[in-house]
Copies of this chain bind each other. A is one copy, B any other.
Amino acid sequence: MTSGNVVFAEYRKNAQLAQGYSILDAAKKAEIEISAVCGGRGLCGKCRIVVKQGSDNLEPVTHLEMMSLSKEELNAGYRLACCALLNREGTTLVGVPPESRAQQQRLLVAGIETAVSRNPSVKKFLIHLSKPSLEDIKSDAEILLDGLSHEQQVTHASITYEALTQLPTALREGDWSVTVTMRDGSEVICIEPKDTTKRTYGLAVDVGSTKIASYLLDLNEGKVVATASAQNPQIPFGEDIISRVSYASKSEKNLRELQGVVIACINKLLFDTCESAGVNASETYDVVLVGNTVMHHICLGINPRFVALSPYPPAIKSSVSVRARDLGLKTNPAANVYVLPNVAGFVGADAVADVLATEIHRSTSLSIMIDVGTNTEIVLGNEQKTIACSCASGPAFEGGHIEFGMRAEPGAIENVYVDPSNLEPGFKTVGDERPRGICGSGIVDAVAAMLKSGIINKYGLINTKLNNHRILTDGAPRYVLSWKEENDLGHDIAVTQHDVQEIQLAKAAIYAGATILMKHMRVEPHEIQKVFLAGAFGTYVDPQSAVILGMYPDVPLERVQFVGNAAGSGARMALLSREVRENADRIVQHIDYVELAADPSFEREFTEALQLPHKDMTRFPTVAQLIKRE
């Protein structure tokens, strides 16, 4: 059974308990697949569970578990499922945190699902109308509006121009039974003959600087029916946001070009998701777009130049509604594109979507949301006050600027562990294919494992004196995860000294941003009840690995939740609920933007955070326990 993010597995009286029968084995029987990258050898530390009842039925905590789990975790009942051997009959109740569930890993990348009252902007109604007669010559529009009023109690509706052009033919083709697509309960946007009410789809799109993710939803069921993602095709025009702004600002033509490639990409994703779900693109009647402010502007064809110039004003904060065809989207021509509002020049609609998905603004307790990307947005707050900032963290966590970095495609190393006894690595790839590179979650795991096992020190330097065959020193020092003979790349796949530095720069920027927000709100890390870790790491990032790097303040691990692409989740919520949209416009009015560049302590915070996990180890007590010191 599942409840929230935890699976409760009960192992009742069982006479045939084999020697060495673990919770991991029991879970398999119960068809709960627990993630164990190392194959159950106690090395990867991915199969964390919490024993809720019957701890006496288990063998004592092993040495391997003590290395993988912090003192707090051990005290809280955490075990590794592969090490926790059942030694006698009885009921053992364990909780399996979401990050330990193998089956969920891929799914969760799509982002958390936050419940919304389903009330999409776009709804279809089947209505039956009566023909006009010579005695009662009504116009087609009058007949339709009368029918809507009688059958659906919709009064004061208007008909869009597009719907009007469909009306006369649809009424006759449908023999006066038509499906009316309405927007926001007041606008008839499409008329189709007969009953097409079951075919109502919408597209939610998160336009990241690096990756564009799309979700096709059945608006009747409120469910995702297909997802697809692609690299942002603007990358050739400038990897970072600023160079794209610079390119777009040069001429109207350049702006149109950057807009054009994104729109073409979204169209491709639309067609891909539609194809895989057996949907026609014209059955997509609504679109929600999110992205940072620059992506927002470029997608809409608004010159982003001034967003990048002090005082960084966005062209607009409030949400924008545009006709899909005006943007060149190949949905139903009647579809509308709703773009979530922006907070500031560098905290855009994607951050608002993050807030919607994590509901920070509605919580009584203090939460921090970190949406890791090329620009990382951080939001700290609760129902009383919410503040946000943005930091330039670079694309390392998305696999960018990493020697063997790649997207989370089949063959990408997504989980890594290092056997502390011999420094031999183990890993899991996407699709369990032969390795081809390392994706975001893989590089986080790898660097954390290298730190834990002493392959790198707190300065991030690879210990070339270890004299291990995996640590190569010809050229730049590097740690080999996969020999060229073992992979499809034809080249050793390694984590290089430079890769580690990229990760350090990225995580330092994020940690410094989070620290300054906390300073602004005068709160300490222990006051934070919830850390939402979001971002396009490719696959499920291990919150423990992330905290080992010092990416976010060291809080008890159970307070940390990886929420995947939360911006995408927020976009989906806006696609499913008009209330969420109204909420979004209120949220931006209540988020205070903190300009990091204007904070005098940013520089020092950043520099100190370059160490792993931090120069000041008292800030990372849990991590301190886990790291094997030189």
Contacts and interface: CB of A to CB of B under 8 A. Distances in A.
Interface of A: 132-134, 137-143, 159, 161, 164-165, 167-169, 172, 300-303, 305-306, 310-318, 320-323, 326, 342, 344-345, 593, 595, 598
A137 B169 contact: no
A141 B315 contact: yes
Contacts of A161: 300, 320-323, 326
12 contacts: A137-B312, A137-B344, A137-B593, A139-B313, A139-B318, A140-B315, A161-B321, A165-B300, A165-B303, A167-B302, A168-B305, A168-B315
Copies of this chain in its oligomeric complex:
2
A318 to B, nearest CB: 7
Contacts of A310: 134
Contact of A169 (B140, B303, B320, B593): B303
A317 B142 contact: yes
Contacts of A142: 316-317
Given A137-B593, A161-B326, A132 B168 contact: no
A313 B137 CA distance: 6
Contacts of A137: 311-313, 344-345, 593
A317 B303 CA distance: 41
A139 B169 contact: no
A292 to B, nearest CB: 15
A142, A302, A322 — most chain B CB neighbours (10 Å): A302
A301 B161 CA distance: 10
Given A161-B322, A169-B303, 10 more contacts: A137-B312, A139-B318, A142-B316, A143-B313, A164-B302, A165-B300, A165-B301, A167-B315, A168-B306, A168-B315
Contacts of A133: 311
A141 B326 contact: no
A71 to B, nearest CB: 45
B172 A320 contact: no
Nearest to A312: B137
A163 B142 CA distance: 33
Nearest to A588: B139
A280 to B, nearest CB: 18
Contact of A138 (B169, B313, B323, B595): B313
A347 to B, nearest CB: 11
A167 B316 CA distance: 9
A168 B304 CA distance: 8
A141 B302 contact: no
A139, A159, A322, A593 — most chain B CB neighbours (10 Å): A139
Contact of A342 (B139, B345, B593): B139
Given A161-B326, A302-B165, A315 B134 contact: no
Contacts of A595: 134
B168 A302 contact: yes
Nearest to A305: B168
Given A139-B313, A139-B342, A315-B139, A164 B593 contact: no
A331 B20 CA distance: 81
Nearest to A159: B316
B140 A314 contact: yes
A137 to B, nearest CB: 5
Nearest to A317: B139
Contacts of A138: 313
Nearest to A598: B134
A320 B345 CA distance: 38
Contact of A132 (B134, B164, B311, B316): B311
Contacts of A320: 161, 164
Nearest to A326: B161
Contacts of A318: 139, 141
Given A140-B314, A311-B132, A164 B300 contact: yes
Contact of A139 (B165, B314, B326): B314
Nearest to A304: B168
A317 B141 contact: yes
A139 B314 CA distance: 5
B315 A164 contact: yes
A555 B630 CA distance: 115
A138 B326 CA distance: 27
A140 B140 CA distance: 42
Contacts of A593: 137
A311 B342 CA distance: 52
Contacts of A141: 315-318
A306 B302 CA distance: 43
Nearest to A309: B172
A422 to B, nearest CB: 55
Contacts of A139: 313-318, 342
A118 B166 CA distance: 36
Nearest to A322: B161
A167 B307 CA distance: 13
Nearest to A132: B313
Which 10 pairs show the lowest CB-CB distances between chains A and B? A141-B316, A134-B311, A139-B317, A132-B313, A161-B322, A140-B315, A168-B315, A139-B314, A137-B311, A168-B306
A134 B172 CA distance: 60
Nearest to A133: B311
Contacts of A323: 161
Contacts of A342: 139
A157 B318 CA distance: 13
A593 B326 CA distance: 39
